[in-house]
Amino acid sequence: MTMQRRYRRGDTGPAVAEIRSKLVLLGLLPAGAHAVHGTGDTDGHGGYADAVFDDSVDLAVRHFQQQRAMTVDGVVGPETYRHLDEARWRLGDRMLSYSIGHPTVGDDVATLQQRLLDMGFDCGRVDGILGPATERALREFQRNYGLGADGTCGPATFRALDRLARTVVGGQPHAMRESELLHRSGPSLAGKTVVIDPGHGGTDQGVTAHGLTEAEIVWDLARRLEGRLSALGVQAYLTRGLDSDGIGEEERAAFANATDADLVISLHADRNESPRAAGVSSYYYGSGSDRYGRRSPTGEHFASLVQRELVARTGMVDGRTHGKAWTLLRRTRMPAVRIEVGYLTNAEDAARLASSEFRDHAAESVVVALQRLYLPPEEDVPTGMLRLPVFT
Ligand SMILES: [Zn+2]
């Protein structure tokens, strides 16, 4: 079942029954308690139609979102629903094999990837998506351990994985691989490919406040960034045009993957019910709540560089960096960082974002952070000191 609309506290119906049963399966909701209103008649649609998204469901959804490093809002939309679906799979529950164009996704795949990495088989990062790199690593593992190298994870492979898991100590091979890739590509920005993703667009204007719209601001910022990067010899691609409409996060990620970029920079502006919420924050792919390496170390590093430069060069409040499992961050094969450049709902932030001088500083901050990312550590200089020849 695919879920198009968003469900929240107070909603009822079959979709809510489905959400409840998934939460029960995950141990986040007690079975049976207040599952339906009325007579408890659950045979046929009559009973399930009465399932209620009540306070206990709201709490369980928030708990789940927190665990999975998603936005915690208690609302089940397509993304949360997909995660609920993925979370129920344990390694061994089903056969796993690579299917072109329709990859298997789930927590069992993530466990498989972690096991493969622990044993030194490079399947890329742990993202729970069975893609070609995971299949290659799986075949390699099977070949090494005298199993039929068919790339399918069935009973014999599960048993072998289980046996070996106890003897192998986990490491961070993926972290090493990412940083190897980073340094192999050399210290110069020229020749790099960067995808710039201005959020929203078209009929989706994002946050609107203080006479500003998020879609327009991030578009303008993206163009300034694109100009600077191009001048430095970077091939920069934008995920959308000025008026492009209806481009989802999955499509943006697919676009970035197709360009085989070195890095993705997604630009957004934030909102909050409190007009006092202010500042800039940067997000990378990562889930803080589990011991496995579900994070992009380069993404995390770049996020901290961007954050540092933005705060130092613009004087914005430091909203710090955070690991998130948002679709764009997760589905891109290269490190990706999403920057929330300020709160449009905050008067001071809005005034800053309205100024073209501020946007120039913001764009320059991102470019300097990028420059730093590719500098060997010994050549790094204190924040605020690095000047790019082209723009001073
Ligand atoms: Zn946004």
Which pLDDT score is estimated for 295?
75
**How many angstroms is it from 387 CA to the middle of ligand 1?**
30
**How many angstroms is it from 268 CA to the middle of ligand 1?**
4
**How many angstroms is it from 199 CA to the middle of ligand 1?**
5
**How many angstroms is it from 202 CA to the middle of ligand 1?**
13
**How many angstroms is it from 351 CA to the middle of ligand 1?**
18
**How many angstroms is it from 198 CA to the middle of ligand 1?**
9
**How many angstroms is it from 205 CA to the middle of ligand 1?**
8
**How many angstroms is it from 206 CA to the middle of ligand 1?**
5
Which pLDDT score is estimated for 184?
58
Which pLDDT score is estimated for 121?
85
Identify the DSSP state of 52. B
Give the C-alpha separation, 322 to 279, whole Å: 14
**How many angstroms is it from 214 CA to the middle of ligand 1?**
7
**How many angstroms is it from 201 CA to the middle of ligand 1?**
10
Q: Which residues contact 157 (CB under 8 A, 6 or more apart)?
A: 138, 141, 142, 147
**How many angstroms is it from 348 CA to the middle of ligand 1?**
19
**How many angstroms is it from 373 CA to the middle of ligand 1?**
25
Q: Which residues of the chain have pLDDT under 50?
A: 35-47, 168-171, 291-292, 389-392
**How many angstroms is it from 363 CA to the middle of ligand 1?**
17
**How many angstroms is it from 215 CA to the middle of ligand 1?**
8
**How many angstroms is it from 13 CA to the middle of ligand 1?**
30
Which pLDDT score is estimated for 40?
42
**How many angstroms is it from 340 CA to the middle of ligand 1?**
8
Please give the C-alpha separations between residue 382 and each of 186, 319, 361, 375, 377, in angstroms, as whole numbers: 21, 21, 17, 13, 12
**How many angstroms is it from 241 CA to the middle of ligand 1?**
16
**How many angstroms is it from 218 CA to the middle of ligand 1?**
9
Which pLDDT score is estimated for 260?
84
**How many angstroms is it from 325 CA to the middle of ligand 1?**
15
**How many angstroms is it from 82 CA to the middle of ligand 1?**
20
Q: H helices of 77-151, where?
A: 78-87, 107-118, 132-144
Which pLDDT score is estimated for 169?
44
By CB atoms closer than 10 A (0-12, 13-18, 19+), residue 354 is middle
Which pLDDT score is estimated for 100?
84
**How many angstroms is it from 240 CA to the middle of ligand 1?**
14
Which pLDDT score is estimated for 105?
93
**How many angstroms is it from 191 CA to the middle of ligand 1?**
29
Give the C-alpha separation, 193 to 139, whole Å: 31
Give the Cβ contact number of residue 246 at 10 Å: 10
**How many angstroms is it from 145 CA to the middle of ligand 1?**
47
**How many angstroms is it from 4 CA to the middle of ligand 1?**
19
Report field, pTM of the whole predicted structure over 0.85: no
The tokens for 61 are 């959804």
**How many angstroms is it from 310 CA to the middle of ligand 1?**
18
Identify whether the C-beta of residue 53 lies closer than 8 Å to the C-beta of residue 10: yes
